[in-house]
Structure 1
Amino acid sequence: MANLLETVAKNQRFTTLISAVETAELTEILQSPGPFTILAPSDEAFARLPEGTIAELLQDIPKLQRVLLYHVLPGDVRSDDLAQIDEAPTVEGSVIAVEQQDQKITVNQAKVIEQDVLTDNGVIHTIDRVLMPALLAGE
């Protein structure tokens, strides 16, 4: 089985995410033993951001790192686990809200559209929006 980084890199739906992770120099964390859980925004999720947001983030590495680490949860958090909790801490340091309604899971209003992609060092859930830490959302 591949690690988190290799698994995300093989999927054509995550080209923007991989580019951002490489720019932010966060490849090491996704290759480390972990385990970690990635809430992985698809390319479509990044395309939903206001125009210029991605370019702005790519120019501000500390901010980009915070945004990306806000999508990473410590531990192996599967969909069964998400269904039983109201919130989860992120590697960035903030907490995300988790809801389950009608068998669908959302994190901070982002829908989990693919669940439980297992890797050597964790699990990946694809989400339909890019999550922004509260402190950055207002900047």
Structure 2
Amino acid sequence: MKIKSIALTLFAAVAISFSANAQKTIVDVAVGSADHTTLVAAVTAADLVATLQSAGPFTVFAPTNAAFAKLPAGTVETLLKAENKATLAKVLAYHVVAGNLNAATVVKAITDAKGSLSIKTVSGGTLVASLKDGKVILTDENGGVATVVATDLAASNGVIHVIDTVVLPK
């Protein structure tokens, strides 16, 4: 009886832990990532926290700190200034797509579209998704290219795919 009780207690603890992770929003997942502190600061500065905590669903292509570091010197600091809030919001919204697009869905859509898929972002811009060496590549409206380096980070209101470069709208 004691072993059965311990097993049930362990099962309940795992279920609670899994349930708690499933309840995290996109913002909560990003906040928990040491590789996304710049993104979290930008989302906060642009007043997009409430939006990205809402029901969604959203697919977020989340640049890492290293991706932001690739931008020309001073770009991040300039965007984080209060007077540039609208520009920052537009850049961040360019990384968000309405709907829950997991990696398998994206790859299938690219394949079905004969190798190149236009994706409308919530900012109104377009990203072009393609495959290169088995990885999803995003090309922005300026010809900039980002590679998806991690996929399917689940949140209660969507999914996050990590990218290695900040994509920029026109």
TM bucket (normalised to shorter chain) is: over 0.9
The alignment partner of 1:112 has SS state of: strand
User: Which AA in structure 2 matches 1:115?
Assistant: T
The alignment partner of 1:8 has SS state of: helix
| Residues 1-139 of structure 1 mapped to structure 2, 5 A cutoff | 1=22, 2-59=24-81, 60-83=84-107, 84-85=109-110, 86-108=117-139, 109-134=145-170
Within 2, Cα distance between the matches of 1:44 and 1:124?
17
User: Which AA in structure 2 matches 1:74?
Assistant: A
Q: Name segments (4+ residues, structure 1) moved above 6 Å.
A: none
The alignment partner of 1:34 has SS state of: coil
Unaligned runs of 5+ in 1: 135-139
Within 2, Cα distance between the matches of 1:14 and 1:132?
17
Bigger Rg, structure 1 or 2: 2
User: Which AA in structure 2 matches 1:34?
Assistant: G
Report which structure shows greater RCO (CA 8 Å, sep ≥6).
1
Within 2, Cα distance between the matches of 1:101 and 1:55?
32
Which structure carries more helix by proportion? 2
Unaligned runs of 5+ in 2: 1-21, 111-116, 140-144
Residue 12 of structure 1: how far off its partner (Å): 0.5
Output the TM-score relative to the length of structure 1: 0.94
Aligned pair count reads 134
Within 2, Cα distance between the matches of 1:78 and 1:54?
29
Aligned identity (percent) is 37
